[in-house]
Amino acid sequence: MSDIVQVAEMLRGAGRVVALTGAGMSAEAGVPTFRDGGGVWKNFRPEELASPEGFARDPLRVWAWYRERRAGLARIEPHEGHRVLARWEARFESMAVVTQNVDGLHHRAGSQRVFELHGRLDETRCVACECRIVGLDDLGPDPRCACGARMRPGVVWFGELLPVDTLEAGMELARQADVCLVIGTSGVVYPAASVAEVAKQGGAAFVEINPQPGALASIADVCLRGGAVEMLTKLDDAVGR
């Protein structure tokens, strides 16, 4: 039996499915990953561009980088793999995506049950008050809130806590899952990676979709070695309606 057929059988017997996605999920849409090949963290230091200390030290540099990423995102569309996960909300009793991605592509593909652990690139928030701006508009080199304080990208940075409710919801979905698909993540950033570990501990069948083994591959029941688009479209065909 091929690996695709095996996973399709797991999915056919499943009521509750959770997908934990990482940067590799969006790679084929044109969003760069962080750690492999031409990954973002090969060329930039995360503590300079993605930490509260880096922002305090040089907010204009941090904003310049985020403005570039936001402009890039405005030109990007979700791919068929994102759309397969969105369609599966109608296929399974419970289908949810827990994502480390800040690109919003799962939402744009039509997924409604998306838990964004690391925030959103299209959100900007005040460092001092509750004010938020949603959208990819260019807000200038050093955006300020009406209260006078500086505004920052609405993403979670290194050293910051994840949104508690979102993480707890993701963990609960993982605990209850029959199948956990771990797609396009190196699995090295916690607590996000623990969502997959919790699913495994709760008895879910664990499937890794990634051209390369990630750090969680050792606990996977099946590894589908290929890109997200190819593997998810093959699974969608094999699972049937």
Return residues touching ligand OAD (CB under 6 A): 22-24, 27-28, 33-36, 39, 46, 50, 100, 118, 156, 184-186, 189, 209-212, 214, 227-228
Half-sphere exposure of 48 toward its Cβ, with a 13 Å CA cutoff? 9
Which residues are CB-contacts of 81 (< 8 A; sequence separation ≥ 6)? Answer: 25, 28, 183, 227, 228, 229, 231, 232, 233
User: Which SS3 state, helix, strand or coil, does residue 126 take?
Assistant: strand
Nearest distance in Å: CB 146, ligand OAD: 28
Pairing of strands 151-155, 119-126: antiparallel
Question: Which lies closer to ligand OAD via its Cβ, residue 104 or residue 214?
Answer: 214
Nearest distance in Å: CB 54, ligand OAD: 12
Task: Give the E-state strand segments of 61-190 in sequence order.
Answer: 94-99, 114-116, 119-126, 132-134, 151-155, 179-183
Q: Which residue is nearest to ligand OAD (CB)?
A: 24
Nearest distance in Å: CB 193, ligand OAD: 8
Question: Which lies closer to ligand OAD via its Cβ, residue 46 or residue 202?
Answer: 46
Angstrom distance (rounded) from CA 84 to CA 124: 29
- Containing H/E element for 206? strand 205-209
Among residues 198, 239, 222, which one has the least CA distance to residue 85? 239
Residues with catalytic function: 118
Query: Is 53 buried (19+), middle (13-18) or exposed (0-12) by CB count in 10 A?
Result: exposed
Nearest distance in Å: CB 36, ligand OAD: 5
- Containing H/E element for 92? none
Question: Which lies closer to ligand OAD via its Cβ, residue 185 or residue 194?
Answer: 185
Nearest distance in Å: CB 139, ligand OAD: 20
